[in-house]
Structure 1
Amino acid sequence: MAGCSAANPNHPLPIDPHGGIWDRFFVFPLSWLLQRSAEFFGGSYGIAILIVTVLVRLVILPLTIKQTKNQKRMQEIQPEIVKIREKYKNDPQKAQQEIMKVYQMHNANPITGCLPVFIQMPVLLAFYHSIIRTAQIRSHDFLWLQLGAKDPYYILPILAGLTTFLQQLIMMRYSPTMSENPQMKMMTYIMPVMIFVIAISLPSALSLYWVYGNIFTTIQNYFLYRDKGNAPKGGLAK
Structure 2
Amino acid sequence: MERNILFITLKKYQLLILLLLSLFLLGGCGNNFTPIDSSSTGFFDHYFVYPFSLLIKKVAFWFQGNYGIAIVLITISIRFVLMPFLIRQSRSSKESQDKMAILRPEIDLIQEKYKGKKSTEDQLSMQRELSDLYKKHDFNPVKMATGCLPLIIQTPFLIGFYYAIRRTPEIAEQSFLWFNLGETDILFVVLAAIIYYIQARVGLIGLEEIQRKQMAIMGLISPIMIGVISLNVPAALPLYWAVGGLFMIVQTLIIKKYVY
2:154 to 120, 139, 162: 120
Amino acid corresponding to residue 174 of structure 2 in structure 1: H
* 1:158 counterpart = 2:190: yes
Name the structure 2 match of 1:80: 102
Q: Which is worse superposed, 209-218 or 133-142? A: 133-142
Contact map agreement 2:184 2:233 (CA 8 A) in 1:
yes
1:192 to 203, 223, 227: 223
- Of residues 41, 54, 57 in structure 2, which corresponds to 1:32? 54
Return the alpha-carbon distance in structure 1 between the equivalents of residues 252 and 93 of structure 2. 13
Q: Give 1:135's aligned residue.
A: 169
Contact 1:131 1:205 in 2 (8 A): yes
Among residues 26, 29, 38, which one is paired with 1:17 in the alignment?
Answer: 38
Percent of aligned pairs sharing the same letter: 32
Q: Where in structure 2 are there 5+ consecutive unaligned residues?
A: 1-23, 115-124
- CA deviations over 1:145-195 (Å, ceiling 9, x no partner): 1212111xx111111111111111111013337x63423223324432332
* Cα root mean square deviation, aligned: 2.6
1:47-105 per-residue CA deviation (whole Å, 9 max, x = no partner) reads 11000001111111121111111111122122223223212112531343045326745
Could you tell me which amino acid in structure 1 is paired with residue 214 of structure 2?
Answer: Q
- Aligned residues of 1:17 and 1:23 also touching (Cα < 8 A): no
CA distance in 2, matches of 1:210, 1:103: 42
Q: Check 1:2–1:93 CA distance in 2 against 1; reply closer, same or farther (3 A cut).
A: closer
Note if contact 2:110-2:130 (Cα within 8 Å) is conserved in structure 1: no
| Preserved contact between residue 85 and residue 95 of structure 1 (Cα < 8 Å) | no
The equivalences for 1:1-238 within 5 A come to 4=27, 8=31, 12-18=33-39, 19-89=41-111, 90=114, 91-98=125-132, 100-101=134-135, 104-105=138-139, 109-151=143-185, 154-176=186-208, 180-226=211-257
The amino acid of 1:69's aligned partner reads R
In 1, Cα distance between the equivalents of 2:204 and 2:25? 36
The AA in structure 1 aligned to 2:56 is L
Aligned 8 A contact 1:14 1:133 in 2: yes
Relative to structure 2, which stretch is displaced further, 218-227 or 193-202? Answer: 193-202
Aligned mates of 1:137, 1:131 — CA distance in 2: 7
Deviation at 1:219, TM superposition (A): 0.5
1:134 is aligned with what amino acid?
A: T
Alpha-carbon distance in structure 1 between the residues aligned to 2:223 and 2:172: 25
Q: Distance in 1 between matches of 2:248 and 2:69?
A: 18
2: CA distance, partners of 1:182 / 1:206: 30
Q: TM-score, normalised by structure 2?
A: 0.76
Distance 1:224 1:161 in 2: 23
The one-letter amino acid of 1:12's match is F
> Aligned letter for 1:72?
K
Give, as a single letter, the amino acid of the residue that structure 1 aligns with 2:148.
C
Distance in 2, matches of 1:113 and 1:2, equals 21
Deviation at 1:2, TM superposition (A): 8.7
**How far, CA to CA, are the matches of 2:168 and 2:176 in structure 1?**
16
Return the offset for 1:122.
0.8
Matched residue SS, 2:51: helix
Greater shift, 158-167 or 213-222, is seen at 158-167
AA in 1 matched with 2:227: F
